[in-house]
């Protein structure tokens, strides 16, 4: 099946938006903190309740010192047998630092087909970045009040890339669902 030129343009547009919105930012800029965690001796029932209550799909498993031992996801709870978080957790972890570029985090999430990546600084858990954290950048659009140039970014731009107006000229644009 061949792609139409329209489909190719859409894919290029999405790649451009992702590249533009992730340029210059770091994991520390978009990470979720504080991180919801569980202990290795937490029952799988309690882990499931924690995921449901906080509306997340996975949590880091940490020891009393706060060292990350693994991750437990909805998949792990459904696919593995065990009574405790430590029995079903994944221990081969991919982690990043708070200084890791968002573009690198995005590539890890896509290339490794993972849904979240713990953020560690000096070996300590300081945050977590999920796919939705990166997607949020695409949904946040600022519009220059001088020239109308739209810029997708989580934070107000410092300067308009088109007319070079100061950042205070930007206004947050509400996104229409499905846009």
CA Rg value for the chain: 19
Q: Does one domain contain both 84 and 165?
A: no
Domain count, the chain: 2
pLDDT, tens digit, for every residue of 98-111? 999 999 999 999 99
What pLDDT, on a 0 to 100 scale, did the predictor assign at position 175? 55
CATH number at residue 143: 2.20.28.10
Kindly state whether residue 115 falls inside one of the protein's structural domains.
yes
Kindly state whether residue 179 falls inside one of the protein's structural domains.
no
Q: Which domain holds residue 116?
A: 27-134
Q: Does one domain contain both 95 and 50?
A: yes
Q: What DSSP element (H or E) covers 132?
A: helix 131-139
Q: What is the dihedral of CA 88, 94, 95, 99, to 10 degrees?
A: -160
Kindly state whether residue 104 falls inside one of the protein's structural domains.
yes
Kindly state whether residue 178 falls inside one of the protein's structural domains.
no
Q: Does one domain contain both 145 and 119?
A: no
Q: Does one domain contain both 19 and 102?
A: no
Q: Does one domain contain both 122 and 165?
A: no
pLDDT, tens digit, for every residue of 102-143? 999 999 999 999 999 999 998 899 999 999 988 887 777 789
Higher pLDDT, 163 or 11: 163
CATH number at residue 39: 3.10.580.10
Q: Does one domain contain both 123 and 165?
A: no
Overall pTM surpassing 0.85 (yes/no): no
Kindly state whether residue 75 falls inside one of the protein's structural domains.
yes
Distance CA 64, CA 40 (A): 10
Q: Does one domain contain both 33 and 109?
A: yes
Mean pLDDT for 67-92 is 97
**Helices and strands (H and E) in the chain: how many:** 7, 7
Higher pLDDT, 48 or 177: 48
What pLDDT, on a 0 to 100 scale, did the predictor assign at position 166? 93
Question: End-to-end alpha-carbon separation of the chain, Å?
Answer: 27
Distance CA 38, CA 45 (A): 12
Q: Does one domain contain both 35 and 16?
A: no
Q: Does one domain contain both 130 and 141?
A: no
Q: Does one domain contain both 161 and 129?
A: no
Q: Does one domain contain both 39 and 103?
A: yes
pLDDT, tens digit, for every residue of 15-53? 444 444 455 589 998 999 999 999 999 999 999 999 999
């Amino acid at each position: 099946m061949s792609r139409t030129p329209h489909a190719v343009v859409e894919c290029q547009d999405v790649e451009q938006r992702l590249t533009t919105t992730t340029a210059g930012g770091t994991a520390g800029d978009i990470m979720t903190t504080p991180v919801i965690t569980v202990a290795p001796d937490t029952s799988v029932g309690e882990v499931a309740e924690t995921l449901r209550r906080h509306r997340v799909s996975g949590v880091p498993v940490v020891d009393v010192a706060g060292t990350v031992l693994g991750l437990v996801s909805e998949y792990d709870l459904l696919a593995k047998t065990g009574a405790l978080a430590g029995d079903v957790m994944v221990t081969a972890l991919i982690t990043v630092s708070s200084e890791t570029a968002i573009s690198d985090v995005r590539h890890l999430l896509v290339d490794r087909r993972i849904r979240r990546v713990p953020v560690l600084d000096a070996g300590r858990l300081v945050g977590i970045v999920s796919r939705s954290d990166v997607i949020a950048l695409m949904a946040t659009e600022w519009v220059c009040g001088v020239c109308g140039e739209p810029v997708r970014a989580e934070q107000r731009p410092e300067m308009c890339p088109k007319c070079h107006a100061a950042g205070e000229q930007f206004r947050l644009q509400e996104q229409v669902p499905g846009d």
